Amino acid sequence: MKLLVYLHLAVKQRALQNDLQGALPGHDVNAVGRIGDFERLLADGVDAVLALPVVLGAYRLSPALQGQRGGSSEEHYSLVGVGSPPEPAKVQSVGALNLLGRDGTNNFVKSLLGVTPKIERVSKVEDLLPLLQMQLVEGILLPGRLFAELRSASKLALAPRELAKPVGLPAVATVTPGGAQLVQAVGKLPANVAKLVGVDSWR
């Protein structure tokens, strides 16, 4: 069975793929971080997809297994600036992970901020920080759980503001009937691998 993983995390895609592959013997795991690679592999044919619900929904896929952390299936994103937290309603330029291409990512950012600033899209979590360092944006948008790692990698006085609207945690959707096997297998992932994905349990 083929599992396609499309998540933006602090770890490298290759490391994520290797850890998931090791925990899912007998299955074929492909982890990507670019929307173009995701669309290409999805079109080539996979049995299940592990991604954020907002991504699954954009491709008419429904979660069969929902990740949870601390008893919740959702998390909050933070808008991070330098010196002081940016005002979501006033920010004019934002760095964001390229979740869904230009239009989809713009809509996602607007749903969180309530406004549509100029958006600089990047494909990797580590590419967000340079946008602030070079003063290309007023703030960057990322899951709150990734802020500690971002702060430890920077000498900037980073200041986060948690946003009100929650975002669904990673989930698994089946693409073929065989994907049900992968849903069962992902639901039994070791705790350390599930944590890598950003969850501590599944339901």
pLDDT value of residue 8? 95
161 and 79 belong to one structural domain: yes
Instruction: Tell how strand 171-174 and strand 139-143 pair up.
Output: unpaired
pLDDT of 117-166, one tens digit each? 999 999 999 999 999 999 999 999 999 999 998 898 888 999 999 999 99
18 and 63 belong to one structural domain: yes
pLDDT value of residue 169? 98
137 and 194 belong to one structural domain: no
What percent of the chain has a predicted confidence (pLDDT) above 90? 94
Residue 15 has pLDDT above 90, yes or no: yes
Nearest CA to 2 out of 20, 27, 25 is that of 27
78 and 157 belong to one structural domain: yes
Residue 3 has pLDDT above 90, yes or no: yes
163 and 173 belong to one structural domain: no
Structural domain for 177, as ranges = 2-70+169-202
pLDDT value of residue 146? 93
The pTM (predicted TM-score) of the whole model is 0.95
At 170, the pLDDT band (50, 70, 90 cuts) reads very high
35 and 87 belong to one structural domain: no
CATH at 96: 3.40.190.10
Residue for token pair 């995390």: 9
Residue 115 has pLDDT above 90, yes or no: yes
88 and 163 belong to one structural domain: yes
Overall domain count for the chain: 2
47 and 89 belong to one structural domain: no
pLDDT value of residue 101? 96
54 and 15 belong to one structural domain: yes
Measure the CA–CA gap between 194 and 35, rounded to whole angstroms.
22
pLDDT value of residue 77? 97
Residue 193 has pLDDT above 90, yes or no: yes
61 and 79 belong to one structural domain: no
At 82, the pLDDT band (50, 70, 90 cuts) reads very high
Measure the CA–CA gap between 181 and 81, rounded to whole angstroms.
43
Mean pLDDT of the chain: 96
Furthest-apart CA pair in the chain: how many Å?
A: 51
126 and 99 belong to one structural domain: yes
Residue for token pair 């979660």: 63
